[in-house]
Amino acid sequence: MKHLKITFALTVSILLLSSCGGNKKQADQTGEDFKIEDYIKAAEAIEPNLNQVDQIFNILDMVHAEYYDVLTNDPYSAHSYKSSYPVAAANLGIYMTDVVYNFYGENDERTFLTLQAAQELAKYIGVESQFGTWAIQNLEGTMVKRDTLTMMFNNLLMDSEKYTSEKEMVFIHTAFLTGSFIEKVFISGSLLKQKLSAKEFTKEQESDIRELLVIYLNQLAPSTGILYDAFEKQQEQLSGLIILTTFARLEELSVQLLNVKSSMVLAPISEIASNKDLNITFDLISNLRNLLVVSNT
């Protein structure tokens, strides 16, 4: 096992090694806190506005969002995330979000490379079954029912022969969900920041900013609370984990921002751009993302 920095990547690596017993199959039926069915039910309640391909297309089109490939993770970094299952799962979540965003931007080459990177990580953590088929079907719009990135991962995880313990599955699932959530809010937050940085605004641009602000705020909650609860249930093994304290802060800020959402959306653009709590959320999300995507080799 390669040495990692004292970050989320290091802590979750240690946790997984302790819970998986060196990647051997273990039947862990103890601990009522880790019912995978209940956890999945809660996770599927998250509405991060990137659940369906056509949904995110409609949202980005609605606010006239531009496409920037620099907002996506380097598809050539996939090999560096195979230091542990949770690190790989978190970055699989990031790559799957990037596949959708690259497809939206009609960047075919980047979409293909990112899908390849995602497949590499899916194979490493043992959820490769039907992975490529699922992704292609969704991008082609052939799946009509509500089908989220979360649900896709749940099905593949349950099919995997690498996990028999509920604790292992919950932990890997949490890592995946964390990666996809962080990338979703990172992209939408970055687009919002970029729009707010303009010197002058047309009426249409102001309207776009206010709509994108609502989208961003709605992404923060209830996702941050659900993820915080998921990590808190594993607190025994996650003592001192930087991501736990960050999600606690994000949850607190998302509640505050939602309470003032109506007045904030109507405020002058300059007040939105200078809102302290809003800018703190941008920084917290960027810091979390940097912990996940920085190469561990």
Domain range enclosing 69 = 36-292
Distance, CA of 2 to CA of 268 (rounded, Å) = 50
Q: How many domains are contained in the chain?
A: 1
Does residue 236 contact residue 13 with C-beta atoms inside 8 Å? no
Q: 4 vs 87, 88, 165, CA distance in Å?
A: 11, 14, 25
Distance, CA of 273 to CA of 270 (rounded, Å) = 5
Both tokens assigned to 178? 């964390």
- Inside any domain, residue 149: yes
- Inside any domain, residue 12: no
The confidence score (pLDDT) of residue 38 equals 57
Distance, CA of 274 to CA of 203 (rounded, Å) = 20
Does residue 64 contact residue 204 with C-beta atoms inside 8 Å? yes
- Inside any domain, residue 4: no
Both tokens assigned to 185? 């809010």
Does residue 220 contact residue 255 with C-beta atoms inside 8 Å? no
Question: Which stretches of the chain score pLDDT less than 50?
Answer: 1-34, 36, 39, 43-44, 46-54, 142-147
- Inside any domain, residue 117: yes
- Inside any domain, residue 80: yes
- Inside any domain, residue 229: yes
Specify the length of the chain in residues.
297
The confidence score (pLDDT) of residue 19 equals 33
Residue carrying structure tokens 């022969």:
161
Amino acid at 234: Q
Distance, CA of 6 to CA of 151 (rounded, Å) = 31
- Inside any domain, residue 11: no
